[in-house]
C-alpha cells in the first residue's frame, strides 16, 4: 500500500505551492485515475511518488515503510515505476537495450511487451530511442519499459498523449489486463473516458488539492463555468492603446 | 612474435586476438614485425621512407587488411607513411589504429600518415581506433593524418574512435570526393583528466552529386580539452551534412568551429553542432528503472559513444 501523509510541495524560487497538504492511501491491486485541469498538480504528485521531487513537508510510505528520503533508484528497486509524460530520447541506446535494462524478473519476451503497446518487435527492437521515433512511438515504448517490470506501484503520466486512436484502444486493454492479472497499485493520470472507465477510484486533482472518490459522470459533465480572469480589465486599456499606436 | 601486451593492444585497436586472417602488417616501436599478402591484397614496405604500400586488386570483394601499429616503449617517436590503393569496383575493410603502452616517464608518440586512393566504383570501410594505457607518467601522443582521394562512384566509410588513454592528439582528415562519391564519417572521442584532443575534418565535394555525412560525438570529462574544426566545401552540385554533438562534464572545455563553403549554386551544406551537459531527464529515466546514478551516467555515455 502506498500512503501519502500531509504532503505539500513548493517549487521554484517563488516557492509556489503545487500540492497542498495531501493525504491519501492507495491499495494493492487497485487502479486509480488522477484527473483534473492542467497545472492542478497531477504530474507533481507522480514525481513525488517516484522520488523525482521531494515533499516540502509530509511523509510517503510504501507498505508501512517511510520512503520519503529514498532516492529515485532506491524507490525503483522497491518496485515503484513511472512512465514519463514526456519521455527523454537517447542517442545510441536501442529499444532492446532499454527494455533489457528495465526488465526485472518478469521474463516477458520483449516482443510481447511491444505487442502490448501495439508495436511490432521486428520493426522496433533494433531502433535507437532517438529523434527518429515519433512522439507516439516513444511514448508507447516508455509504457513498455514499465510493463517490463514487476512493480508494486506503477504510475503512468498521461499515457494517451500523442497516441493515435487505434493504438489507444489497445493500450486501454493492456491496462485492463495488467489490472486483472497483477497486484500492482496502478495510478494513471488521464483525461480519457476510456481510461476513467477502468478506474476503481477516480481522484480529482485541482489547485494542489485532491478530491477522492469522484464519479465519472461528474467529471464528464463538468462545465467549468467558474473560470474567470481578473486581469481582463487591467490589460484591456493597454491592448487598445497598442492598437491605436 | 606477439607477446601478451601486444595482444591486449591489438584487441583494443583492431578487435584482434592474434595475427589476423588475410592481409596484414603489424608495426611495433617503429619497425614492421609481421606482414602478410594475399592473392588479391599486396602489402609491402616502402623503400624511401618508413611505412607500407597496400594494393588491393580491382574487383576484390569482402576481404580485409589490418595495419595496426603498437608502441610499447617510452621515448619513442614513430612516424609512418602508408599508401593504400583500393582497386576499381572492390569492396574491402581496412583496419588501422594504434595502441600505446607507456610505463615510463618519457613520451611515446606515433604519427600515422595514411594516403588512400579509392578507385572508381570501389567501396571501402576504414576503421581507425586509438588507445593508450600504462602506469608511466610519460605522455601517450597520437597524431593521425588521413588523406582520401575517392574517385567517381565510390563509397567510403570512415570510423574514427578514440575512447581511452591518449594524452594528446592532433587528428587531421581530408577527403576529396569525385562524381557521385559518397562519404560517411563517424567520429567518437572521449577525453578525461588533462587530455587534449584536436580534430580537424576537411571535406571537398568536388564531383557532381557527391555526398558527405559526418556524425561526430564526443564526451569531455575532468579538465580535458577538445577542439573541433569542420570544413565542408561544395565545389559542385553536391550535398553535405555535418552533425556534431558533445557532452561536457566536470571542468572540461569543448570548442567546435564549423565552416561551410559553397562554390556552386547547387551545393547544399548543413552544419549542426551542439554542446551540452548530460540531460537530467535521461539520468532520472534510467534511475527510475533501477540503475544507480553512476550506472545511468555510464549507460548514457556508452550509448552516445557507441
Q: What is the pLDDT of residues A165-204, one digit of tens each?
A: 888 888 999 999 999 999 999 999 999 999 999 999 999 9
Please tell me the CATH code under which domain A2-244 is placed: 3.40.50.300
Which chain A residues touch B299 with a CB distance below 8 Å? 93, 101
In which band, very low, low, confident or very high, does the pLDDT at B76 lie, cut at 50, 70 and 90?
A: confident
In the predicted model, is pLDDT for residue A241 greater than 50? no
Mean pLDDT of A90-103: 93
Tell which wins on pLDDT, A217 or B46.
B46
Residue from B218, B275, B288, B300 whose CB has the most chain A CBs within 10 Å, to mutate = B288
What DSSP string describes A36-75? --TTSSHHHHHHHHHTSS--SEEEEEETTEE-TT--HHHH
pLDDT confidence of residue A226: 54
Contact assessment for residue B147 and residue B114, using Cβ atoms and an 8 Å cutoff: yes
Please count the residue pairs, one from chain A and one from chain B, whose beta carbons lie less than 8 angstroms apart.
Answer: 58
Range A51-74 average pLDDT: 97
Which of B263, B214, B205, B267 shows the shortest CA–CA distance to B241? B214
A92: contact with B, CB 8 A cutoff: yes
Nearest to A76 among B217, B289, B300 (CB): B289
3-class DSSP state for residue A232?
helix
Q: Would you call B279 and A88 a contact, using CB atoms and an 8 Å cutoff?
A: yes
Taking only the tens place, the pLDDT of each residue in A114-150 is 998 989 999 999 999 999 999 999 999 999 999 999 9
**A40 in reach of chain B (CB within 8 A):** no
> Which residues of chain A make contact with B306, given a CB cutoff of 8 A?
92
Test B288 with A87 for CB contact under 8 angstroms: no
Tell if the CB–CB gap between A81 and B289 is shorter than 8 Å: yes
Is the entire prediction scored with pTM above 0.90?
no
> What pLDDT, on the 0 to 100 scale, is given for residue A243?
46
Partner-chain contact B293 A73, CB within 8 Å: yes
Whether the per-residue pLDDT at B233 is higher than 80: the answer is: yes
Contact: B287, A76; criterion CB under 8 Å? yes
Q: How confident is the model at residue A244 (pLDDT cuts 50, 70, 90)?
A: very low
pLDDT of residue A7: 96
Nearest-neighbour CA in chain A from B297: distance (Å): 12
A interface mutation test: which of B215, B278, B290 has the most A CBs within 10 A?
B290
**Residues β-bridged to residue B101:** B133
Compute the average pLDDT of residues B76-98.
94
Range with the poorest average pLDDT among A10-14, A231-235, B185-189: A231-235
| Of residues B282, B287, B305, nearest to A72 (C-beta) | B287
Is residue A218 over pLDDT 90? no
Residues from B in contact with A at Cβ < 8 Å? 217, 245, 279, 281-282, 284-293, 299-300, 302-306
> For the segment B254-278, what is each residue's pLDDT rounded down to a tens digit?
999 999 999 999 999 999 999 999 9
Identify whether the C-beta of residue B94 lies closer than 8 Å to the C-beta of residue B125: yes
CB contact under 8 A, B300 and A93: yes
What pLDDT, in 10s, does the model give residues B32-62? 899 999 999 999 999 999 999 999 999 999 9
A145 to chain B, any CB pair closer than 8 A? The answer is yes
**Per-residue model confidence (pLDDT) at position A232:** 56
- What ipTM describes this predicted complex? 0.90
Question: Which residue is closest to B289 within chain A, CA to CA?
Answer: A102
* Chain B residues touching A93 at Cβ < 8 A: 299-300, 303
Is A143 in the B-facing interface, judged by CB distances under 8 Å?
no
Q: Please name the residue that has the C-alpha cell 548543413.
A: B270
Give Cα B287 to chain centroid, integer Å: 33
- CA B264 distance to own-chain centroid: 30
Check CB contact of A71 with chain B, cutoff 8 Å.
Answer: yes
Q: Does the pLDDT of residue B17 top 90, yes or no?
A: no
Amino acid at each position: 500500500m502506498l500512503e501519502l501523509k500531509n504532503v505539500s510541495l513548493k517549487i521554484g524560487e517563488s516557492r509556489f505551492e503545487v500540492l497542498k497538504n495531501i493525504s491519501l492511501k492507495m491499495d494493492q491491486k487497485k487502479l486509480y485515475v488522477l484527473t483534473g485541469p492542467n497545472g492542478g498538480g497531477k504530474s507533481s504528485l507522480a514525481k513525488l511518488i517516484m522520488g523525482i521531487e521531494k515533499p516540502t513537508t509530509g511523509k510517503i510510505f510504501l507498505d508501512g515503510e517511510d520512503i520519503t528520503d529514498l532516492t529515485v533508484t532506491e524507490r525503483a528497486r522497491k518496485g515503484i515505476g513511472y512512465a514519463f509524460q514526456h519521455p527523454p530520447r537517447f542517442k545510441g541506446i536501442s529499444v532492446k537495450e532499454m527494455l533489457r535494462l528495465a526488465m526485472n524478473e518478469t521474463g516477458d519476451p520483449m516482443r510481447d511487451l511491444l505487442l502490448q503497446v501495439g508495436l511490432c518487435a521486428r520493426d522496433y527492437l533494433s531502433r535507437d530511442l532517438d529523434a527518429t521515433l515519433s512522439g507516439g512511438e516513444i511514448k508507447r515504448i516508455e509504457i513498455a519499459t514499465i510493463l517490463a517490470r514487476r512493480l508494486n506501484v506503477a504510475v503512468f503520466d498521461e499515457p494517451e498523449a500523442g497516441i493515435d486512436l487505434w493504438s489507444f484502444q489497445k493500450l486501454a486493454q493492456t491496462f485492463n489486463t495488467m489490472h486483472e492479472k497483477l497486484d500492482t497499485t496502478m495510478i494513471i493520470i488521464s483525461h480519457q473516458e476510456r481510461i476513467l472507465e477502468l478506474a476503481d477510484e477516480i481522484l480529482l486533482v485541482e489547485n494542489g488539492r485532491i478530491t477522492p472518490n469522484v464519479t465519472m459522470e461528474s467529471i464528464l459533465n463538468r462545465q467549468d463555468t467558474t473560470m474567470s480572469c481578473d486581469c481582463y480589465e487591467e490589460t484591456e486599456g493597454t491592448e487598445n492603446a497598442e492598437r491605436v499606436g | 612474435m606477439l607477446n601478451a601486451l601486444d595482444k591486449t593492444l591489438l584487441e583494443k585497436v583492431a578487435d584482434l586476438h592474434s595475427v589476423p586472417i588475410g592481409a596484414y602488417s603489424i608495426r611495433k616501436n617503429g619497425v614492421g614485425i609481421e606482414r602478410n599478402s594475399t592473392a588479391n591484397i599486396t602489402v609491402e614496405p616502402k623503400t624511401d621512407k618508413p611505412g607500407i604500400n597496400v594494393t588491393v586488386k580491382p574487383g576484390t570483394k569482402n576481404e580485409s587488411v589490418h595495419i595496426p601499429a603498437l608502441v610499447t616503449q617510452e621515448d619513442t617517436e614513430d612516424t609512418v607513411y602508408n599508401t593504400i590503393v583500393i582497386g576499381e569496383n572492390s569492396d574491402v575493410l581496412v583496419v588501422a589504429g594504434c595502441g600505446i603502452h607507456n610505463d615510463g616517464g618519457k613520451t611515446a608518440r606515433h604519427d600515422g600518415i595514411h594516403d588512400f586512393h579509392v578507385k572508381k566504383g570501389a567501396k571501402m570501410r576504414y576503421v581507425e581506433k586509438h588507445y593508450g594505457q600504462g602506469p608511466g607518467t610519460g605522455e601517450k601522443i597520437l597524431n593521425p593524418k588521413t588523406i582520401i582521394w575517392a574517385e567517381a562512384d565510390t563509397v567510403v566509410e570512415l570510423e574514427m574512435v578514440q575512447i581511452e588513454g591518449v594524452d594528446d592528439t592532433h587528428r587531421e582528415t581530408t577527403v576529396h570526393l569525385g562524381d557521385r562519391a559518397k562519404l560517411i564519417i563517424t567520429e567518437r572521442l572521449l577525453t578525461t583528466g588533462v587530455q587534449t584532443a584536436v580534430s580537424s575534418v576537411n571535406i571537398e565535394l568536388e564531383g557532381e552529386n557527391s555526398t558527405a555525412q559526418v556524425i561526430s560525438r564526443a564526451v569531455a570529462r575532468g579538465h580535458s580539452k577538445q577542439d573541433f574544426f569542420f570544413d565542408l566545401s561544395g565545389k559542385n552540385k553536391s550535398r553535405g551534412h555535418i552533425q556534431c554533438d558533445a557532452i561536457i562534464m566536470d571542468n572540461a572545455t569543448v570548442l567546435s568551429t564549423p565552416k561551410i563553403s559553397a562554390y556552386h549554386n547547387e551545393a547544399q551544406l548543413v552544419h549542426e553542432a551542439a554542446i551540452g551537459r548530460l540531460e537530467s531527464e535521461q539520468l532520472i529515466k534510467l534511475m527510475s528503472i533501477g540503475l544507480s546514478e553512476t550506472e545511468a551516467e555510464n549507460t548514457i555515455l556508452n550509448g552516445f559513444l557507441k
